[in-house]
Amino acid sequence: MNRKITLLSLVVAIVLGVFAIGCGGGNSDGDTGSSDASSSDEASVHKVAEQLAKVTLAKDAKGFCALFAPRQIEKWLGNLSCVQVFGVGLRNPVDKSQFKIDKVKVDGDKATVTFGYGDVGFTKVDGKWYLDVPETKAPLQSDS
C-alpha cells in the first residue's frame, strides 16, 4: 500500500508540477498567438483552458480527468485511477489569479496556453481539443 501511495504522490507531483510551474512566463499583451491556426481552433482551445481553470479551482478531480483524451490518459496512467491520482494534488491551495489566460497558440494538432503560472499543452484528438498528457518514457502503473 505504501508503494502505491508513493507512486500516486510522484504522479501528482509530476503532473501538477507541469501545470503549477509551467514552461515559461506569461504574455500580458493579450496576443492570441494566431499563426496559421483557425480562430475556431483557438476558441476551442481557449474553452478547454477555461474549463481547466474552473475544475482546478473547484478541486474537481473527475472534471479534471475529463479534460484528457480517454485513450491517452489510460495509456499514460495504466491501471491507476485518474480521479484518485489527481484528487490528491487538487487538494492543494490554488491562486485564482494564476489562471488568467495570457496567450493561446495553435500549431496544427498541438496548442499551448500561457496562464499566469506558465504554459500548458493541449492536443487535438479526433477533432476535439484535450489537455495534453506530460511526456514520459513509459506509462505510469502501480503494482497493486
Residue 143 lies in a domain: no
Residue 84 lies in a domain: yes
Element housing 124 (H / E)? strand 118-125
Quote the cell numbers at residue 140.
505510469
Tell which residue, 116, 122, 118, has the closest CA to residue 100: 116
Range of the structural domain that residue 32 is part of: 2-131
Question: Model's pTM, two decimal places?
Answer: 0.71
Residue 139 lies in a domain: no
Residue 113 contacts residue 33 (beta carbons within 8 Å): no
Residue 141 lies in a domain: no
Residue 119 contacts residue 45 (beta carbons within 8 Å): no
Q: Residue 67 is part of a domain; what is its CATH number?
A: 3.10.450
Residue 98 lies in a domain: yes
Residue 24 lies in a domain: yes
What is the per-residue pLDDT for 22?
A: 39
Domains in the chain: how many in total? 1
Q: Tens of pLDDT along 1-17?
A: 444 444 444 444 445 44
Residue 137 lies in a domain: no
Residue-level pLDDT, tens digit, the chain, 144 residues: 444 444 444 444 445 444 443 333 333 344 444 444 478 999 999 999 999 999 999 999 999 999 999 999 988 898 899 999 899 889 988 889 998 999 999 999 999 999 998 999 999 999 999 999 876 544 455 444
